[in-house]
């Protein structure tokens, strides 16, 4: 695989002292040189020849370096032959919603004014690697606000070589591109089949799915019987209701507060699952009845789902979830549409931040 785990600290200091400003008088000779692929994904990175030396766009390189962690990045348009951070007509920078910055410091906006954008240099370009600090403060060029870095220096700093047009890293990435935590028995619940208060039973359904996941299937325990352990007149379950049921049922779990995608990715890699509370109306809708990607129903609102895996597809991160809101909807093979469904990580990140940052990690056993 092509990447190293995102866990080491290295700082990319974009001091103006080291940046090359491009203008009409002293413009560099700039042409496309190569298109590189990266092992394990279908990602492609374009390199550019600038005055006889090969460069890549730095934030694009970072995204391909580890696609399971998303950062803020620019969307680009070509101006005078040079890829340039795209601005709207009113001067705002448009940032790529496929790149969320995974750090203690969340970035909520994807459309920034110039003043805020310029203050983000220290946020957009720190990179984290283990065991050593990598010095990247020299060698950068800045053309039309696009930060490029010599490919030769990146290969040296990150210990990769190019073989047959592909980046091959000396150290394997510890982060798998796909994780699916499953059992050899069916533990999915469609809330349609959960009794009188089925419309409000996403919480009980997710709680019981988690019990099944950890302790095994128990036909005596259902979402309906779980609801009957709480007194709330058939209304919504809240996060404390879910936690109380898990505790009373002896299910090992911990409450956490969501900070960034790593909040979910780390326990998933450890074989655990997560219960999150979202506003499902904000998830993008996919009407294709044969597709496994994104929300398969219209509308929505406050909703619990179980996250039991993730997968990087074409360089984009998706969470694999058990959404109890199937309501009898099935694929041609008879499986529920809410089971092992792929939800875009960008949507999940946004709705968890806005709806409820409190979530639960459930152990495997």
The partner residues of 317 in beta bridges, in order of sequence, read: 312
d(CA 28, CA 212): 62
User: Does residue 89 share a domain with residue 23?
Assistant: yes
Sheet holding 44-50, edge to edge: 141-143, 146-150, 53-57, 44-50, 30-38, 166-169, 160-163
pTM: 0.70
Whether 308 contacts 288, CB under 8 Å:
no
Residue reference for tokens 């209304």: 235
Q: Which of 174, 201, 220 is the last residue of a domain?
A: 174
pLDDT at 111 (0 to 100):
59
Any residues with CB less than 8 A from the CB of 164 and at least 6 apart, and which?
none
Region of poorest pLDDT, from 12-26, 95-109, 245-259, 307-321 = 12-26
Region of poorest pLDDT, from 119-123, 153-157, 352-356 = 119-123
Average pLDDT over residues 17-41: 54
- CATH number of the domain enclosing 317: 3.90.70.10
Whether 50 contacts 141, CB under 8 Å:
yes
Whether 273 contacts 256, CB under 8 Å:
no
User: Does residue 60 share a domain with residue 25?
Assistant: yes
d(CA 5, CA 21): 33
Is pLDDT larger for residue 201 or for residue 353?
201
Query: Structural domain tally of the chain?
Result: 2
Residue 157: give the domain boundaries. 16-174
User: Does residue 210 share a domain with residue 145?
Assistant: no
Whether 67 contacts 315, CB under 8 Å:
yes
Q: Which of 156, 174, 192 is the last residue of a domain?
A: 174
Whether 329 contacts 318, CB under 8 Å:
no
Q: Is residue 342 part of a domain?
A: yes
d(CA 322, CA 351): 17
Q: pLDDT per residue over 326-357, tens digit each? A: 999 999 999 999 999 999 888 898 899 889 99
Above 90 in pLDDT, residue 84?
no
Q: Is residue 10 part of a domain?
A: no
pLDDT at 279 (0 to 100):
94
User: Does residue 183 share a domain with residue 146?
Assistant: no
Above 50 in pLDDT, residue 177?
yes
């Amino acid at each position: 695989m092509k990447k190293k785990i995102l866990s080491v600290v290295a700082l990319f200091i974009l001091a103006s002292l080291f940046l090359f400003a491009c203008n009409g008088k002293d413009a560099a000779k700039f042409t496309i040189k190569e298109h590189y692929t990266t092992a394990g994904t279908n990602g492609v990175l374009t390199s550019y020849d600038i005055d006889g030396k090969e460069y890549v766009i730095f934030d694009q390189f970072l995204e391909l370096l580890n696609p399971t962690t998303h950062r803020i990045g620019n969307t680009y348009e070509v101006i005078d032959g040079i890829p340039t951070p795209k601005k709207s007509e009113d001067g705002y920078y448009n940032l790529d919603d496929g790149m969320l910055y995974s750090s203690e410091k969340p970035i909520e906006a994807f459309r920034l004014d110039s003043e805020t954008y310029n203050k983000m240099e220290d946020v957009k370009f720190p990179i984290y690697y283990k065991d050593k600090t990598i010095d990247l403060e020299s060698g950068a060029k800045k053309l039309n606000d696009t930060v490029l870095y010599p490919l030769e220096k990146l290969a040296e700093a990150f210990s990769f070589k190019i073989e047959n047009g592909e980046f091959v890293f000396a150290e394997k990435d510890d982060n798998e591109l796909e994780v699916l935590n499953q059992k050899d028995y069916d533990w999915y619940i469609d809330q349609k089949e959960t009794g009188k208060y089925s419309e409000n039973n996403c919480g009980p359904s997710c709680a019981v799915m988690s019990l099944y996941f950890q302790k095994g299937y128990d036909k005596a325990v259902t979402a309906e019987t779980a609801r009957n352990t709480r007194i709330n007149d058939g209304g919504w379950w809240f996060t404390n209701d879910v936690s109380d049921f898990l505790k009373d049922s002896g299910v090992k779990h911990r409450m956490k507060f969501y900070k960034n995608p790593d909040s979910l990715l780390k326990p998933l890699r450890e074989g655990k699952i997560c219960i999150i509370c979202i506003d499902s109306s904000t998830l993008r809708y996919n009407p294709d009845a044969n597709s496994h990607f994104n929300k398969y129903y219209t509308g929505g609102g406050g909703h619990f789902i179980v996250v039991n895996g993730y997968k990087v597809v074409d360089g984009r991160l998706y969470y694999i979830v058990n959404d109890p809101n199937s309501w009898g909807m099935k694929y041609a093979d008879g499986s529920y549409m809410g089971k092992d469904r792929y939800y875009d990580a960008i949507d999940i990140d946004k709705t968890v931040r806005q709806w409820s940052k409190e979530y639960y990690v459930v152990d495997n056993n």
